[in-house]
Amino acid sequence: MGGPLQGVKIVELAGMGALPFATLKLGDMGAEVIRIDRISEVPADPVARPHNFWDRGRRSIAVDLKSADGVEVVCRLAEGAEVFLESFRPGVVERLGLGPKVLLARNPALVYGRLTGWGQEGPLAQSAGHSLNYESLTGVVRAIGPRGGPPVPPLTVVGDFAGGGMSLAYGVVCALLEARRSGKGQVVDAAMIDGVMSLAAPFYAMHESGMHTDSMGSNLFDGGAPYYNVYETSDGKYVSVAPIEGHFYALLLEKLGLDPGELPDRDDPKQWSTLRDKMAAIFVTQTRDHWCALLEGTDACFAPVLNFSEAREHPHHVARGTFVEGGTMPEMVPSPRLDRTPGEPGPSPAWTGADTDPVLEENGFSAAEISSLRKGGAIA
């Protein structure tokens, strides 16, 4: 049957990082994604390249957006689409002759998704930035790090992909549902700074209530709590434990051979360092494999700390078919998993601009128009 977004046509102005992650998620769920690439990126000698995970589930056409004819090509594609996505700084797309006013005038039901770092307005809106900057301004980076040490940059999972790409994809689907009721499109302003702030909202609430302090490495979820922590094993590897609930914690102590009556009160943060030292002294006596055999699969809330290569081979991921089989690079199957209309990873373009002619033909451009556009340099 195809994914749940089958029949949804998306036009994407090529961008970096967070934007292609958003369209990857939408394409995985069945949407038809047409990416508008720069004409300058078309290879001089086009040859089919290996499948690229970042490009999967979309087709590529190459258009000169500095050409009036090229801009008109994009406008005509947007007329027949339900979604248009871009990730330029505020005002750039308008200067190209596109933007929400132009495209919504031609397609009033269009969902126009704009992904930026700082948002469409505000004193930083025109500034360059990257994931670490958005994570920093929201308080996230300042909350991650060892006690007494410096803040630690998190992976771009937080800013680019969760706060940016996933936030945009979520906003697009919400706007699509509303557009199908009202017949009217709207602009989705997905700012990574907003997305990260939204993800951090529970910690703002915890901070306000006193459950989370500004002292790094001293709180429940930042490595302060000994029962929500990572421990080194005798072979220099690591394991994680997270038995927050009392009965799970009791099971962990039982497995470790620790008598609760001889341990400090786990609910007293002043005793955490002592309790953490006792637990560390136990875990470092055996290898990671030993602790996996003893604790993995129990209710002790345990997992080994794996690197990416190890994670690919873990039996749980293998059993669930988490990774696409036979790929040229590690890539995951679409998630979340729907039982009736599951997503499906699609192919990637053979090369930048490889799908220009068939995409234009399918969208009402005649052979004569395509030839004229190519001669004029508007398309590759």
- Give the active site residues: 130, 160
Token pair listed for 109: 């039901």
In single-letter form, the type of residue at position 294 comes to L
CA distances from 305 to 56, 268, 284, 296, 362 (A): 29, 27, 14, 12, 49
Question: Rounded to whole angstroms, how far apart are CA atoms 32 and 83?
Answer: 10
Nearest to 18 by CA among 128, 118, 163: 163
Strand ranges across the sheet with 238-241: 229-232, 238-241, 302-304
Contact (Cβ atoms closer than 8 angstroms) between residue 245 and residue 299: no
With contact defined as beta carbons under 8 Å apart, do 29 and 343 qualify? Answer: yes
